[in-house]
Amino acid sequence: MNEASTLDGPARDHNSVDPYDIEAVRADFPILDREVYGQPLVYLDNAASAQKPRPVLDAIEHAYTHSYANVHRGVHRLSQEATDLFEEARVDVARFINAEKADEIVFTRGGTEAMNLVVASYGRNFLQAGDEVIISTLEHHSNIVPWQLLRDQIGIVIKVVPIDDDGNFDLDAYHDLLSDRTKFVSVTQMSNALGKITPIKAVIDAAHRRGVPVMVDGCQAVTHLSTDVRALDADFYVFSGHKLYGPTGVGALYGKFELLDKMPPYQGGGEMISSVSFEKSIYKKPPHRFEAGTPAIAQVIGFGAAIRYLEGLGMARIAAYEAEVVDYAHEQLGAVPGLTIFGSRDNKASIVSFIMECAHAHDIGTIVDRAGVAVRTGHHCAQPLMERLGVAATARASFGLYNTKSEVDSLVAALRQVEEIFA
């Protein structure tokens, strides 16, 4: 495959004048046909993990039944076929986020491992005691705990950008935190608990004026927004396959090649080396330097299929459709007595977190589940954010490209049952 022509080829959003055909989209997802407790499944837990369309399932099955072998190492036909499919997926990922080249894409087990990779490889080798790393109150634990581990190991200082009462990232406070001691910024593009979108371009630009690199947690945003890492000028960008309608166990780290090239390996083993002796090892160039061992081959191939599926629908069309559903959800949920939504509707996508005066979040989740509605309850791996909101847990309805307004109605009807039971 000609990598350059592929990356510079078709536009990433294949939008058309045709209306968004929600019934055709839903038909692509076999699991949506099932029932739960005798009720049609209403799946509103997409922020945790999205369901898989038929093209992804077919790609995984085909990989296992027609072209399965270990990649990069074999001269036989199956290995060559598997390697081609694997590397084509890398090109798909690079095109999807508009990376300059496929060699800037490292396959990982998910967004969590991608962030840990950057902290362990870049952070441990280019930061030192007293250096400050800026994160925010909106972060998932995956963008908090690795930095705390590094703090305990080498003595960095973690600074936290606050949010306002509407859940918005406080850009003025961020500017105040930036100083000569700031050596790294790591911020989410979209909160997994509130759906609030951060002013990530302004965050990056302010850091770069001080020569500070930025890692963006794009695990939620990349599913709902068109992503262009070159326009953002992100130094690192991470996301997961399973939230993007692809398989679990696979994700991607984008890094500017000049940064990846100076970072040491994250793990050691096969595939990431050029040569090994008992005296020393010579490592491959990125991205293979960071992909030790046998990778998640079929999952990576399915990841590529998921991206092509999304490109076929068009990210702009998906975003416009989802915005209508989420607006409707805000309107309908806001009319439920005793229900409080966290995070104002502005600067927000596809997530509505709420509590009810009459019931704990876990009770809400249990009762609506009996009505066939799947929502997430708990702290959503964002305990510091829950503390800021003054709650232990919320119920979270998170919407995807296949959800409908009628499913919002099903959720509201189930919440009315919660009200009847506990009131």
- Interval 134-169: pLDDT, tens: 999 999 999 999 999 999 999 999 999 999 999 999
Q: What's the structural domain count of the chain?
A: 2
Q: Using one digit for the tens of pLDDT, what is the confidence trace for 271-314?
A: 899 999 999 999 999 999 999 999 999 999 999 999 999 999 99
Domain of residue 82 covers 61-312
Residue 90: name the closest of 295, 273, 248 by CA.
295
What share of the chain in percent tops pLDDT 70? 96
Q: Quick check: is 263 in a domain?
A: yes
Could you say which of 262, 287, 312 is where a domain stops?
A: 312
pLDDT at 125: 97
Within this chain, do residues 280 and 169 fall inside the same structural domain, yes or no?
yes
Amino acid at the residue 49: S
Q: Quick check: is 6 in a domain?
A: no
Amino acid at the residue 174: Y
Within this chain, do residues 275 and 350 fall inside the same structural domain, yes or no?
no
pLDDT at 423: 79
CATH, residue 376: 3.90.1150.10
Residue 311: name the closest of 93, 125, 141, 130 by CA.
93
Could you say which of 312, 330, 365 is where a domain stops?
A: 312
Within this chain, do residues 195 and 212 fall inside the same structural domain, yes or no?
yes
Query: SS3 of 50, please?
Result: coil
Task: Assess whether pLDDT exceeds 70 at residue 1.
Answer: no
C-alpha to C-alpha distance for 287 and 175, rounded to whole angstroms = 33
Which residues, 6+ apart, have CB-to-CB distance to 95 below 8 Å? 6, 7, 9, 12, 307
Task: Assess whether pLDDT exceeds 70 at residue 257.
Answer: yes
Within this chain, do residues 32 and 151 fall inside the same structural domain, yes or no?
no
Q: Quick check: is 88 in a domain?
A: yes
pLDDT at 13: 45
Calculate mean pLDDT across residues 44-62: 98
CB 307 within 8 A of CB 313: no
To the nearest 10°, report the CA torsion of 94, 100, 103, 108.
-40
C-alpha to C-alpha distance for 273 and 262, rounded to whole angstroms = 15
Within this chain, do residues 220 and 263 fall inside the same structural domain, yes or no?
yes
Which residues, 6+ apart, have CB-to-CB distance to 89 below 8 Å? 300, 301, 303, 304, 305, 307
Q: Using one digit for the tens of pLDDT, what is the confidence trace for 64-92?
A: 999 999 999 899 999 999 999 999 999 99
What share of the chain in percent tops pLDDT 90? 95
Within this chain, do residues 186 and 203 fall inside the same structural domain, yes or no?
yes
C-alpha to C-alpha distance for 387 and 281, rounded to whole angstroms = 47
Within this chain, do residues 202 and 334 fall inside the same structural domain, yes or no?
no
Model-level pTM? 0.95
Task: Assess whether pLDDT exceeds 60 at residue 5.
Answer: no
Within this chain, do residues 346 and 208 fall inside the same structural domain, yes or no?
no
Q: Quick check: is 154 in a domain?
A: yes
- Which tokens belong to 171? 């850009």
Which residues, 6+ apart, have CB-to-CB distance to 10 below 8 Å? none
CATH, residue 137: 3.40.640.10
Query: SS3 of 110, please?
Result: coil
Residue 333: name the closest of 353, 358, 363, 348 by CA.
353
The catalytic residue positions are 381
pLDDT at 359: 96
pLDDT at 73: 83
Query: SS3 of 24, please?
Result: helix
Calculate mean pLDDT across residues 332-348: 96
406-410 — which CB contacts under 8 Å span 24+ positions?
407/42, 407/44, 407/373, 408/325, 408/328, 408/329, 408/332, 408/333, 409/332, 410/40, 410/42, 410/371, 410/372, 410/373
Q: Quick check: is 14 in a domain?
A: no
Within this chain, do residues 287 and 225 fall inside the same structural domain, yes or no?
yes
pLDDT at 7: 60
Within this chain, do residues 141 and 211 fall inside the same structural domain, yes or no?
yes
CB 382 within 8 A of CB 140: yes
pLDDT at 348: 96
Could you say which of 265, 288, 312 is where a domain stops?
A: 312
Q: Quick check: is 26 in a domain?
A: yes
Task: Assess whether pLDDT exceeds 60 at residue 110.
Answer: yes
Within this chain, do residues 304 and 354 fall inside the same structural domain, yes or no?
no
Residues forming a β-bridge with 352: 397
pLDDT at 11: 41
Within this chain, do residues 298 and 359 fall inside the same structural domain, yes or no?
no
Q: Using one digit for the tens of pLDDT, what is the confidence trace for 282-293?
A: 999 999 999 999
Q: Quick check: is 15 in a domain?
A: no
- Which tokens belong to 363? 């009770």
Q: Quick check: is 53 in a domain?
A: no
pLDDT at 14: 44
**Averaged confidence pLDDT in the chain:** 95
Task: Assess whether pLDDT exceeds 60 at residue 3.
Answer: no
Calculate mean pLDDT across residues 374-388: 97
